[in-house]
A and B are shown apart, each in its own frame.
Chain A
Amino acid sequence: MDVLTLLGQMLNTTLVFSTALIFAALGGIFSERSGVVNIGLEGLMMFGAFAAAVGGYYAQDAGYAGMAPWIGVLCAMAVGIIGALIHAVASITFKADQTISGTVINFLAAGSTLYLVKLLFEGAGETPLIDGFYKYKVPLLSEIPVLGPGLFNSYPTTYLAVILVIVVYYLLFKTPFGLRLRAVGEHPSAADTLGVNVNRMRYIGVMLSGMLAGIGGATITLTTTGTFAHNTISGQGFIAIAAMIFGKWNPLGAFGAAVFFGFSQAIRNYVQQFGWSQDIPQEFIYMIPYVLTIIVLVSAVGRSSAPSALGQPYDPSKR
């Protein structure tokens, strides 16, 4: 295989792996920008992956084969929002510690999804295999050498993710809604004084994060695995959190970080094709992205720029 074809393929695989991380990291940004820590992204992705597999299966069963993956995505959004609501009620209304209630989401998701899979499919350990999305070639653009097969022959969800990055950026930094959301995460009492309903904004932020993380989980079942099992989501939610922090809670930065992590997953599949890789133990190649992340963080100037009210429940009676 010549180098250019290989490069195109690697680019393509990178995008496949990054898609779920982009969605989930964008979700994390909504939640944390509003001041609510979301360690539950992993669980929310699990809810989404499960809902997509089950929704997609029943839609396919009912004869809507073409629409089935999209119905799966809708189910994932809905279930993601419901999961996030648990987090919101506990951490915003009842002022529970946000880290704890996020961990609760991870537990409830791991428990309830597998419990339901066994209940719905007669004790099976995973959902029946479904077709999922097919790659879509963008006319003309996909003819460009290297970049064409790399970028413009992807799953519809990948295009959606990239578009969403720009939409979220615009929403956060160019609209009144975004300003309010960020204000609530930076200085809730000031925002409150100016008439912003702090808790409502936070509810919206957390629910959006549930929706997006849900879609992120859905893309994994609908493009990669085709089923939902106990190991469908294994750490992607935490990588998404890392991507969000790495990207300094900015959609564009998170996008870059997500692609970086996606690339590191893709490189595993291709590294055997290079001659020099035979001399390096495979584990060291697997380690590269994680080591690089730390090195980049060390050399990057400036401290991490988390929203200043992150993690604090809003209590108007406190100053």
Chain B
Amino acid sequence: MNKFKKIFATDSYIVPLVAILLGFLVGAIVMLIGGYDPIAAYGALFKRVFGSPYDFGEAIREMTPLMLTGLSVAFAFRSGLFNIGADGQVLIGMTAASLIGIKWAGLPLFLLVPLAVIGAGLCGGLWAGIAGYLKAKRGINEVITTIMLNWIALFLANYIVRTFLLIPGQNRSEDIPASISMTFLNSFFDNARLHWGTFIALAAAVFFYIYLWKTKQGFEMRAVGLNPHAAEYAGMNVGRNVMKSMFIAGVFAGLAGAGEVLGVFHYQAVFAGSPGYGFDGIAVALLGLTHPFGVILAAILYGMLTYGSAGMSFNADVPPELIRIVIGSIIFFIAAQGIVRWVLKPFYFKRKKEKVL
């Protein structure tokens, strides 16, 4: 985890910005090689995101689960854990929200909605907690357990939807009466599917920051992440911190699931395969340097790029997959900072000279 400290110590703003520029540059070169017009393509991308209130709202909708899964992966990272399981935690959160939202539909909405959201967070947390428990008590590598739990979550979610919530003859659940959509914004954003989950995500980022950097428990968690042996020697309970960290990471991911079913789709589909939320979350967490506010910015960038890529293919005929190359390159340049520094070297040199003069 030392390298993360290093990243923050120096150039914490310049390097990511240059990395983003370099990423776009790589994308442009790839487009030129393929015979496409990069300026038209990037223009179409941004036009798609900012072109109409509807698209802008939908882009925000796209960013919301990315924020939460990104926070989930980043939080676990901070205490030395690699949470590949955000995908499964999202699914479990979704299923819990759907189950509560449909089965307890008799409750008044002001009770039902918070219950569904809280239930989703709790279930996501407990699901991740399984991996945390096994790591703490049995020393089992969390990478392998979270991968396994992703698959189990996928099948469990499908089983629950198929057995308890299905509309006969269709591959989806009944409609969920509980909703966190911000319908009062519909006229403003042309019926884009905005929902309160976005604010939940922002609140989660603030919680992440305060908890890890302003509380004693957070201090312990970071200590465990930086050096578990030293933390144990200092009298901290490593196992308990590992479990707690996985639980909180899972809560974030579970809330992302609640946002998707209660705010966006209002039903839950039977999934043929992994919906991929968790893997986007890994990218967002890394892009955001595993800092909560960095993660939010990264989710905004990532969401803009993926949502805009559809416009890119529609208006400039560029395959939308190109955007994955851009994102991959950005992460590459952030990770391999040596390259960015090498690019920046001439500028630094100049600045120093000026000072001497």
Contacts and interface: CB of A to CB of B under 8 A. Distances in A.
Given A115-B325, A304-B140, A90 B319 contact: no
B274 A104 contact: no
A104 B283 CA distance: 8
A238 B337 contact: no
Contacts of B144: 241-242, 245-246, 293, 297
A106 to B, nearest CB: 8
A111 B329 CA distance: 10
B174 to A, nearest CB: 19
B336 A101 contact: yes
B141 A111 contact: no
Interface string A233-244: 011001101100
Given A235-B274, A290-B152, A100 B328 contact: no
B143 A245 contact: yes
B159 A284 contact: yes
Contacts of B159: 281, 283-284
A235 B319 CA distance: 23
A298 B148 CA distance: 13
A200 interface: no
A95 interface: yes
B163 to A, nearest CB: 7
A257 to B, nearest CB: 10
Give the size category of B's interface with A: 35 or more
Interface string A84-122: 001001100111110111011111101110110011000
B138 interface: yes
Nearest to B324: A111
Interface string A281-294: 10110110011011
A107 B148 contact: no
B169 interface: no
Interface string B328-340: 1101101111110
A223 B144 CA distance: 27
Interface in B133-168: 134, 138-141, 143-145, 147-149, 151-152, 155-156, 158-159, 162-163
A103 B328 CA distance: 8
B301 interface: no
Contact of A238 (B34, B84, B332, B336): B84
A73 to B, nearest CB: 25
A101 B151 contact: no
Nearest to A303: B139
B11 interface: no
A103 B331 contact: yes
B156 A283 contact: yes
A242 B138 CA distance: 17
A6 interface: no
Q: Is the interface of A mostly helix, strand, loop or mixed?
A: helix
A281 B163 contact: yes
B335 A101 contact: yes
Nearest to A120: B34
Interface in A136-168: none
A171 interface: no
B152 A94 contact: no
A119 B34 contact: yes
Interface of B: 3-4, 30, 34, 82, 84, 134, 138-141, 143-145, 147-149, 151-152, 155-156, 158-159, 162-163, 273-274, 279, 282-283, 286, 319, 321-329, 331-332, 334-339
17 contacts: A95-B3, A100-B335, A106-B328, A110-B321, A110-B324, A111-B323, A112-B321, A112-B324, A112-B325, A235-B274, A242-B143, A245-B144, A287-B155, A291-B152, A294-B134, A297-B134, A297-B138
Q: Which 10 A/B pairs are nearest by Cβ-Cβ distance?
A: A111-B324, A107-B328, A303-B139, A111-B325, A96-B335, A283-B159, A94-B338, A94-B336, A100-B335, A114-B321
